[in-house]
Amino acid sequence: MSASLIGARVQRKEDYRFLTGAGQYTDDVILPHQSYAAFVRSPHAHATIKSIKTDKAKKAPGVLGVYTGEDAAAAKLGGLPCGWLITDVNGQPMKEPPHPVLAQGKVRYVGDQVAVVVAETAEQARDAAELVEVNYDVLPAVVDAAKATQKGAPALHEIAPDNTCYVWALGDKAAVDAAFAKAAHVTKLEFVNNRLIPNAIEPRAANGSYNRAEDGYTLYVANQNPHVERLLMTAFVMGLPEHKVRVVAPDVGGGFGSKIFLYPEDVVVTWASRQLGRPVKWTAERSESFLTDAHGRDHHTIAEMAMDKDGKFVGMRVHTTANLGAYLSTFASAVPTILYATLLSGQYTTPLIYCEVKAVFTNTAPVDALRGAGRPEATYVVERLVETAAREMKLDPTEIRRRNFVRQFPYQTAVALQYDTGNYEATLDAALKMADVAGFAKRKEEAAKRGKLRGLGYAAYIEACGIAPSAVAGSLGARAGLFEAGEIRVHPTGSVTVFTGSHSHGQGHETTFAQVVADRLGLSVENVDIVHGDTSKVLFGMGTYGSRSIAVGGTAIMKALDKIIDKGKKIAAHLMEASEGDVEYDKGIFKVSGTDKQKAFGEIAFAAYVPHNYPHDKLEPGLNENAFYDPSNFTFPAGSYVCEVEIDPDTGQTKIVNFTAVDDFGKIINPMIVEGQVHGGLTHGIGQALTEGCRYDPDSGQLVTGSFTDYCIPRADDVPSYQLDTRETPCTHNPLGVKGCGEAGAIGAPAAVMNAITDALWSMGVKDVPMPATAQTVWKAIQNASKKAA
Partner 1 sequence: MSEALYPITVEVNGVQRTAQVPARLSLVDWLRDELRLTGTHVGCEHGVCGACSILLDGEAVRACLMYAVQADAHRVTTVEGLAAPDGGLSVLQDSFCEAHGLQCGYCTSGMLVAAQALLDANPRPSDDEIRAAIGGNLCRCTGYQQIVEAIRLAAERLQEKRA
Chain positions contacting partner 1, by CB under 8 A: 11-12, 14-25, 27-28, 30, 61, 123, 199-203, 251-254, 256, 283, 285-286, 505-508, 672-673, 675-676, 678-684, 707-709, 713-717, 719, 721-722, 745
**CB of 30 or CB of 471, closer to partner 1:** 30
The neighbouring-strand residues paired with 205 are 283
Q: What's the min distance (Å) between Cβ of 199 and partner 1?
A: 6
- State how beta strands 313-325 and 299-307 pair: antiparallel
In angstroms, the CA 461 to CA 685 distance is 13
Minimum distance from CB of 353 to partner 1 (Å)? 32
Shortest reach from residue 10's CB to partner 1, in Å: 10
**Rounded to the nearest whole angstrom, what is the least distance from the CB of residue 761 to partner 1 in the complex?**
26
Nearer CB in complex with partner 1: 585/722: 722
Query: Judged by CB, which is closer to partner 1: 59, or 182?
Result: 59
Task: Assign 309 to helix, strand or coil.
Answer: coil
Q: Which residues contact 93 (CB under 8 A, 6 or more apart)?
A: 85, 86, 87
CA 565 to chain centre: 34
| Closer residue to partner 1, CB minimum distance, 11 or 784 | 11
- Please, what is the minimum distance in Å from the beta carbon of residue 11 to partner 1? 5
C-alpha–C-alpha distance, residues 118 and 210, integer Å: 15
Dihedral sign, Cα of residue 511, residue 515, residue 518, residue 523:
positive
CB of 250 to partner 1, least distance (A): 11
Closest CA to 400 of 440, 458, 454, 343: 458
Write down the least CB distance from residue 253 to partner 1, Å.
Answer: 3
Q: Reduced to 3 states, what is the DSSP secondary structure of residue 483?
A: coil
Closest residue by Cα to residue 161 from 99, 97, 74: 97
The letter for the amino acid at 508 is: G
Compare residues 682 and 757 and give the one whose CB is closer to partner 1: 682
In the complex with partner 1, the residue whose CB is nearer, 102 or 673, is: 673
Residues 6+ apart with CB under 8 A from 130: none
Who contacts 222 (Cβ-Cβ below 8 Å, separation ≥6)? 25, 26, 200, 202, 203, 204, 205, 206, 249, 252, 253, 255, 259
What minimum distance in Å lies between the beta carbon of 506 and partner 1?
3
Q: What is the DSSP letter of 367?
A: B
Please state the closest distance from residue 659 (CB atom) to partner 1, in A: 10
Residue 21 Cβ vs partner 1, minimum distance, rounded to whole Å: 2
Nearest partner of 462 among 344, 336, 311, 314, judged by Cα: 344
Cβ nearer to partner 1, comparing 346 with 748: 748
Residue 51 CA: distances (Å) to CA of 88, 115, 128, 221: 38, 12, 17, 32
Q: How far is the CB of 400 from partner 1 (least distance, A)?
A: 30
User: Minimum distance from CB of 296 to partner 1 (Å)?
Assistant: 13
Nearer to partner 1, 55 or 285 (CB): 285
Nearer to partner 1, 227 or 505 (CB): 505
**Closest CB 429 distance from partner 1, rounded Å:** 24
CA dihedral defined by 181, 185, 189, 193, rounded to 10 degrees?
-90
Beta strands 598-600 and 654-664 are unpaired
Are the C-beta atoms of residues 534 and 555 closer than 8 Å to each other?
no
Residue 392 Cβ vs partner 1, minimum distance, rounded to whole Å: 33
Distance CA 572, CA 588 (A): 12
The answer to whether 225 touches 541, Cβ cutoff 8 Å, is yes
- Rounded Cα–Cα distance for residues 599 and 607 (Å): 11
Closer to partner 1 by Cβ: residue 252 or 267: 252
Shortest spacing between CB 694 and partner 1, in angstroms? 15
Sheet arrangement for strand 63-68: 63-68, 113-119, 35-41, 280-283, 205-211, 216-221, 245-248
Q: Let me know: does 224 contact 260? Beta carbons within 8 Å.
A: yes
CB of 585 to partner 1, least distance (A): 33
Q: How far is the CB of 507 from partner 1 (least distance, A)?
A: 7
Instruction: Compare residues 167 and 294 and give the one whose CB is closer to partner 1.
Output: 294
List all residues 6 or more positions away from 421 whose beta carbon is below 8 Å from its beta carbon.
Answer: 409, 410, 636, 729, 730, 731, 732
For partner 1, the closer of residues 365 and 678 by Cβ is 678
How far is the C-alpha of 411 from the C-alpha of 407, rounded, in Å? 8
Residues 6+ positions from 678 with CB-CB distance below 8 Å: 661, 663, 722, 724, 741, 744, 745
Handedness of CA 646, 723, 690, 304 (dihedral sign): negative
Of 354 and 659, the one with the shorter C-beta distance to partner 1 is: 659
511: closest CA among 20, 23, 9, 4?
Answer: 9
Sheet holding 654-664, edge to edge: 453-462, 638-647, 654-664, 723-726
Residue among 232 and 525 whose Cβ is closer to partner 1: 525
Nearer to partner 1, 112 or 251 (CB): 251
CB of 754 to partner 1, least distance (A): 19
Closer by beta carbon to partner 1, 138 or else 672? 672
Identify which of residues 15 and 396 has a Cβ nearer to partner 1 in the complex: 15
Choice between 256 and 271, CB closer to partner 1:
256
Q: Please choose, from the candidates 498, 478, 482, the residue with its C-alpha nearest in 3D space to the C-alpha of residue 490.
A: 498
Q: Hey, how many other C-beta atoms are within 10 angstroms of the C-beta on 586?
A: 10
H or E element at residue 427? helix 424-434
Residue 596 buriedness (CB in 10 A; 0-12 / 13-18 / 19+)? exposed
Q: Which residues of 86-120 are buried (b: 16+ CB within 10 A; e: fewer)?
A: bebeeeeebbbbebbbbbeebbbbbbbbbbbbbbb
